[in-house]
Amino acid sequence: MRRLACLLTFFAISFSFSLSVAAKTSGCFDNKRFCFELTPSSSSLYLVTVQRKVALPVALTLYSDTLFQIPTGKDALQSKAHVNAFLSTDEAIPLGVVKDTHAFWQSMRVKWTVGRIDATHDNAYTYLSPLQPAGEYRIVQGFNGSYSHSGASRYALDFAAPVGTPVLAARDGVVIDTKDDGNQGGPSTRFAKHANYVVILHSDGTTGEYYHLKY
């Protein structure tokens, strides 16, 4: 009886150890909006693919010091510091290969945005004011505003309105991202990370972003 107990204990410890060192083969981002998979493609390489899990377009860039181009024939592996992908369907997209799964997960970084990278704005669309009645709210910073409307924010508009004023969508679409837990604000970039927002994807692939919100 003692011998049997020892054998069972040893088996349990060995089994637990095997699970702890198993290679990680998948990882998801942004509440499983898209996921990476590592699949053995040969005796020493893993194929890296990415697949969206939500029916919305996603543009992303993957960075990794361990990523190589998918080999063709017997040519030597070529490093691939980053790769771009546009997820417009639910099909998995191959990005490259890696030798070491652990090193890949340790080194990889991802930048992404929801929307189409090839979006063309529908200039014929007439936007409504997000604050109604429109004539009661003054625009205090417009396109290319010198204070903060440059670069990606060059087409932003800032309205002056009392706290508690309802904010409406200026154009119809699908809500693709929100933040509602910010409780700090002020006229400084140090508050940017606290900003509450709603992002809406439009039918032409562009997005409307509504910031400076209080929930």
| Same domain (yes/no): 140, 197 | yes
Q: How far apart are CA 174 and CA 202, in angstroms?
A: 7
- Domain closes at, from 86, 114, 142: 114
| Same domain (yes/no): 29, 103 | yes
3 state DSSP class of 3: helix
User: In this structure, is the dihedral angle defined by the CA atoms of residues 208, 85, 89 and 54, taken in order, positive or negative?
Assistant: negative
| Same domain (yes/no): 107, 148 | no
| Same domain (yes/no): 103, 145 | no
- Residue 22: what pLDDT? 62
Does the residue 142 lie in any domain?
Answer: yes
For the ranges 12-21, 40-49, 96-105, 137-146, which has the lowest average pLDDT? 12-21
| Same domain (yes/no): 201, 145 | yes
Does the residue 89 lie in any domain?
Answer: yes
DSSP H helices in the chain: 2-20, 101-107
| Same domain (yes/no): 106, 172 | no
pLDDT level of residue 197 (50, 70, 90 thresholds): very high
- Residue 57: what pLDDT? 87
Does the residue 3 lie in any domain?
Answer: no
3 state DSSP class of 194: helix
Does the residue 128 lie in any domain?
Answer: no
Mean pLDDT in residue range 118-128: 91
- Domain closes at, from 61, 86, 114: 114
Q: pTM higher than 0.75 for the full model?
A: no
Residue 3 has pLDDT above 90, yes or no: no
Residue 39 has pLDDT above 70, yes or no: yes
| Spatial CA neighbour of 59 closest among 111, 11, 99 | 111
- Phi, then psi, of 208 in degrees rounded to 5: -115, 130
Does the residue 121 lie in any domain?
Answer: no
Does the residue 14 lie in any domain?
Answer: no
Does the residue 7 lie in any domain?
Answer: no
Residue 2 has pLDDT above 70, yes or no: no
| Same domain (yes/no): 62, 145 | no
- Residue 72: what pLDDT? 84
**44-53, 71-80, 147-156, 193-202: which is most confident:** 44-53
| Same domain (yes/no): 46, 101 | yes
Domain of 157, in residue numbers: 134-211
Tokens encoding 185:
């604000």
Contact 162, 126 (CB under 8 A): no
Domain count, the chain: 2
Tokens 């637990």 correspond to 16
User: In this structure, is the dihedral angle defined by the CA atoms of residues 174, 177, 182 and 185, taken in order, positive or negative?
Assistant: negative
| Same domain (yes/no): 177, 147 | yes
3 state DSSP class of 190: helix
- Residue 14: what pLDDT? 39
For the ranges 9-23, 164-178, 186-200, which has the lowest average pLDDT? 9-23
Q: How far apart are CA 111 and CA 60, in angstroms?
A: 6
pLDDT level of residue 20 (50, 70, 90 thresholds): very low
| Same domain (yes/no): 28, 85 | yes
Which tens digit of pLDDT belongs to each residue from 55-101?
888 899 999 999 999 988 777 899 998 999 999 899 999 999 999 99
- Domain closes at, from 50, 85, 114: 114
Does the residue 78 lie in any domain?
Answer: yes
- Residue 131: what pLDDT? 96
User: Could you tell me the CATH number of the domain that includes residue 60?
Assistant: 2.60.40
With a CB cutoff of 8 Å and minimum separation 6, the contacts of 121 are 204, 206
Q: How far apart are CA 178 and CA 159, in angstroms?
A: 20
Contact 207, 184 (CB under 8 A): no
Mean pLDDT in residue range 151-162: 90
